[in-house]
Amino acid sequence: MKIAHAADTHLGYAGFGLGALVEDPRRPGITVRQRQLDIHDGFVSAVDAAINAQAEIFLHSGDLFDSARPPAFAVDLAMSQFRRLTDAGIPVVVVEGNHSYPRDPALGHAFQILGHLPNVYVAYDAPRTFALAGMKIHAYPHKAVSRGAWPSPGEVKGGVNILLAHGVADGQLFFRGDRPAPELAIGAVANDFMYVALGHYHRHVQVPQTGNAFYAGASAMVTWGDFRTGHRFSISLVDSLADQTVVAIELPTRVMRAYGIDDASGLSRRDVLTFLAEQEHQMPARDANCRVSVEGLEDLVRRELNVREIEEIFQGAAAMQVSLRSREQRWEAVQAGLAEGGQLANRFAQLVGQLDAEPAFRSDVMTLGESFLELADEQLSDIDSEEVER
């Protein structure tokens, strides 16, 4: 018995931040963010992998769509890909995730539409049990679990049973996402099932203290919280229920690359841009999802740096996240600096030293500034003397 297990495809998510705009090949003339196209391509790749592996059933453990009101093109994509699976003789079971349930039940549920497809079985609002391919799929949707629905230990007996759910396994912080999801008592019931198919955490991983509970992971990078250099997204393939043999099938998802400076203290704006440009030259950003992080910048340099300048260096990236952080200064450090000679003249010299300019220009600024500081000091001394005389 081969089971393909996918999750967290988040169809319809458009992404945000810096990203390339491309034409959607499925909708000629329509321009979308590359991130959105990647998410949709990841779902198609997950279906490809299930068909190529000759799976006998396809399980999707939540967050098929990114929202409870998915756009029509996202619903169309889901329906067309499920039709590919069922045409290949692979029935589909989908459970509701925390992104997919509507807050207003009067508006209906997108899964109601999917449920009209032959051999596509959906679980939303209430738990459902589906008898398919010689097994029983016990599906617990987000809304039902949030209201306390969950199998009791020892409740499920006899036959081949699979648990399908979306949430945080045993409340472990490791499995929490960017939006709240219910805690699932996996350890208490895992032994009652041949396999536990989970969704919510975006990486393929086995739940600790179990031999059969797995998160399938996302099929593409959804948010920047999923960013890990060198990571490849995947679906799970249960190759043998009897032996509990579970493998991750990697998908052809976009490469992720990280750039930056851990400690930029003492560097000028020009130094930072030159350093980043050299990194991009050594490891081209073209067509990659890129994260650029610069830490410890001097305050003046941080104000001078423009995100657009960094964007130009990595202009070939498919999507980019930029983080620029100033060096933290605690009050104790400021006091120590003043005690060690933090006079106005010394502070002015430090600021001039941080200017992104030629040495000759910095020297002229320093000379001119010193003369004004001396004049200001004389005038302040005269005022102090007058006040003493009074």
Do 264 and 246 fall within a single domain? Answer: no
Do 187 and 329 fall within a single domain? Answer: no
Pull the structure tokens for residue 170: 């045993």
Q: With respect to residue 243, please indicate whether it lies within any of the assigned structural domains.
A: yes
Do 291 and 205 fall within a single domain? Answer: no
* Domain endpoint, select from 232, 250, 268: 250
Tens of pLDDT, residue by residue over 114-171, are 999 999 999 998 999 999 988 999 999 999 999 999 999 999 988 899 999 999 998 8
Do 243 and 364 fall within a single domain? Answer: no
* Integer angstrom CA distances of residue 16 from 8, 34, 289, 296, 336: 18, 10, 13, 26, 42
SS3 335: helix
The domain of 265 spans: 259-378
Do 244 and 319 fall within a single domain? Answer: no
Do 318 and 227 fall within a single domain? Answer: no
Q: 259: closest CA among 225, 282, 235? A: 282
Tens of pLDDT, residue by residue over 69-114, are 999 999 999 999 999 999 999 999 999 999 888 877 777 899 999 9
* Backbone φ, ψ for residue 19 (5° rounding): -160, 150
Number of separate domains in the chain: 2
Q: With respect to residue 390, please indicate whether it lies within any of the assigned structural domains.
A: no
Do 95 and 241 fall within a single domain? Answer: yes
Do 281 and 169 fall within a single domain? Answer: no
Tens of pLDDT, residue by residue over 230-255, are 889 999 999 876 666 889 999 998 99
Do 242 and 268 fall within a single domain? Answer: no
Do 281 and 184 fall within a single domain? Answer: no
pLDDT at 274: 96
Task: Identify the CATH number of the domain in which residue 90 sits.
Answer: 3.60.21.10
Do 241 and 268 fall within a single domain? Answer: no
Give 292's strand partners: 259, 322
Q: 132: closest CA among 192, 92, 87, 81? A: 92
